[in-house]
Amino acid sequence: MSALEQAQIDFIKKHIRLKPNGSYEYRVREDGKDISKSNKDLNTLINIVLGKIKTGSRRKQQSISLLEFSKKFYNLFRAKNKSEKTKEQYDNIIDNHIKSYFDNKAINKINAEELQKFINKIKGDSIRKKVFNFVYSVFEKATALGEIKSNPAIAIELPQNDKKAKKRGLLFDEQIKLIKAVKATNDKDFYLFVLFSLVLGSRREETCNFKLKDINEEKQLIFIHGTKTENAPRWIKISKDMIKLLKSVNKKPNEKYFALTPNGYYHKISRLYKKLKIQNVDVHSLRRTCSTNLYYLGVPDKQRQQIMGHASIVTTNDIYTFLEHDITKEKIEKLYKSLYFSDYK
């Protein structure tokens, strides 16, 4: 053995470390990257380092980040034939939840405990469930494609922190209070939104999609562009006074009628409810109230179902109708005529 070779062996021995598992490790730099070579036999390891024993390259595999895999997963497997609203929801989950929490953390470095903390931080049962379903699917696909060994999302438990009272319709006195308060704001757009939703029972998205061209003045009908169920697109009978009121706003037939987004009205009416101290209600409560009012006015079940755009009368009766013991047909008729339109029938 030459003096040079002995010097190389001595140098290698000096920098070899014994690992806890009993094997020997030597760090080298190949192709600009630090890698380790290891073997349980010291002499074999020395020969490997000297190149006398050839071994395969052991470059460290770079794992894709959860964020990048989520985008890839959505674009490849979920984006096709999805509505713009659904795509917007997925973008929100990826950008405002996954990106803000995990940033560029590798998907194979995320464990069940960290995922549970991530889910726990999300406020709102509905959005939390949507995020969970998406993340679970992402990890399931990553497992199937070999990016990770197993799906850590299996261990997640969905917390139920938002134990809020079930939303309801407005009571009779609350309807009067709300209408007076909305009128007092001198905000005609807001007043017409509340009136439209309350009288026609439209969902906030349906209300915000309304245009003047949707009115058939001759037949006193208004078309609601519903999309939630096959019964959602519907024609509803309205009064001449309400048509006159809607047309009093300077809008073109094909122009968007209401100024704000559905969420804009949601927050606006929520602030007003809080000011009026009306609890367990939201913008959708206007729709529930409409169903209840129609019940007291004696509108037949099938017709109420058609007005509400429900797939089943069970939904109209059991979920959207709230009975109040001292309400009568005469009270609701008087309310409609005084607050909404004088020619109500």
Q: Cα angle vertex 245, ends 242, 250, to 5°?
A: 140
Residue 340's pLDDT is 55
Determine which of 137-141, 160-164, 186-190, 199-203 has the lowest per-residue pLDDT on average: 160-164
Q: Does domain 3-50 have CATH number 3.30.160?
A: yes
Residue 307's pLDDT is 93
Q: What would the pLDDT profile of 258-278 be if each residue is shown by its tens digit?
A: 999 999 999 999 999 999 999
Residue 17 has pLDDT above 50, yes or no: yes
Residue 126 has pLDDT above 60, yes or no: yes
pTM for this entry: 0.55
Backbone phi, psi, residue 123, to 5°: -95, 135
Residue 312 has pLDDT above 60, yes or no: yes
Q: What is the mean pLDDT of residues 172-199?
A: 93
Please tell me what DSSP assigns to residue 317.
Answer: H
From its phi and psi, is residue 47 left (phi > 0), alpha (psi between -120 and 50) or beta?
alpha
Residue 70's pLDDT is 92
> Domains of the chain: which residue ranges?
3-50, 66-155, 172-340
Residue 333's pLDDT is 82
Determine which of 26-40, 79-93, 191-205, 255-269 has the lowest per-residue pLDDT on average: 26-40
List the beta strands (DSSP E) in 85-226. 215-216, 221-224
Question: What's the rounded Cα separation, in Å, for the pair 304 and 172?
Answer: 19
Radius of gyration of the chain (CA): 33
Question: What's the rounded Cα separation, in Å, for the pair 20 and 13?
Answer: 17
Residues 309, 232 contacting (CB under 8 angstroms): yes
Residue 98's pLDDT is 94
Residue 241 has pLDDT above 80, yes or no: yes
Q: What is the mean pLDDT of residues 20-28?
A: 81
Structural class in CATH, domain 66-155: mainly alpha
Residue 111 has pLDDT above 80, yes or no: yes
Fold of 172-340: hpI Integrase; Chain A (1.10.443)
Residue 54's pLDDT is 66
Residue 59's pLDDT is 45
Backbone phi, psi, residue 120, to 5°: -65, -30
Q: Which residues contact 84 (CB under 8 A, 6 or more apart)?
A: none
Q: What value does the mean pLDDT of the chain take?
A: 86
Q: What would the pLDDT profile of 39-88 be if each residue is shown by its tens digit?
A: 888 888 888 877 777 665 444 456 899 999 999 988 888 777 777 777 88
Residue 343's pLDDT is 45
